[in-house]
Amino acid sequence: MKLTRYEQETIVNYNAGEQTATLYTRDKAVMRKLDTFVADFPDTYKLTGQDKVSKTYSFPKSHVSYRKPRKLSEEQREQARERMKNINGI
C-alpha cells in the first residue's frame, strides 16, 4: 500500500498525569528509527501495536524534547561549507 506524504503522519500524545508518551506513526522512516530504539533499548522503548501501515510505540515522556532553531553566523556557515567541500573532495 502506497501512502501519500500527507498520510505519513506521526502523532505524539502525552499528558501531565502519566510518565509515558505514546507515538503513532505511518511514516516508514520514523518506524525504522523507533524499531532500532526498541531493539537497542527494550526497557525504555516498546512497540505497543501495529497494523499493515502503522505502528504505535510508548516511551518515557522525558524523551520528548523541544529545541529552539539553531542560528549560524555567516562565518560559521562558511566554515561548514569548507568542511563539506573537504569531505567531498571538491
Question: Tens digits of per-residue pLDDT, 15-70?
Answer: 999 999 999 999 999 999 999 999 999 999 999 999 999 999 999 999 999 999 98
Is the pLDDT at 73 greater than 80? The verdict is yes
Is the pLDDT at 72 greater than 90? The verdict is no
* pLDDT score of 10: 94
| Sequence-distant (≥ 6) Cβ neighbours of residue 1 within 8 angstroms | 52, 53
Model pTM score: 0.73
Q: Which of 77, 12, 26 lies closest to 54, judged by CA?
A: 26
* pLDDT score of 8: 83
| Sequence-distant (≥ 6) Cβ neighbours of residue 89 within 8 angstroms | none
46 backbone dihedrals φ, ψ, rounded to 5° = -130, 135
The runs of H, that is alpha helices, within 1-90 are: 28-40, 74-88
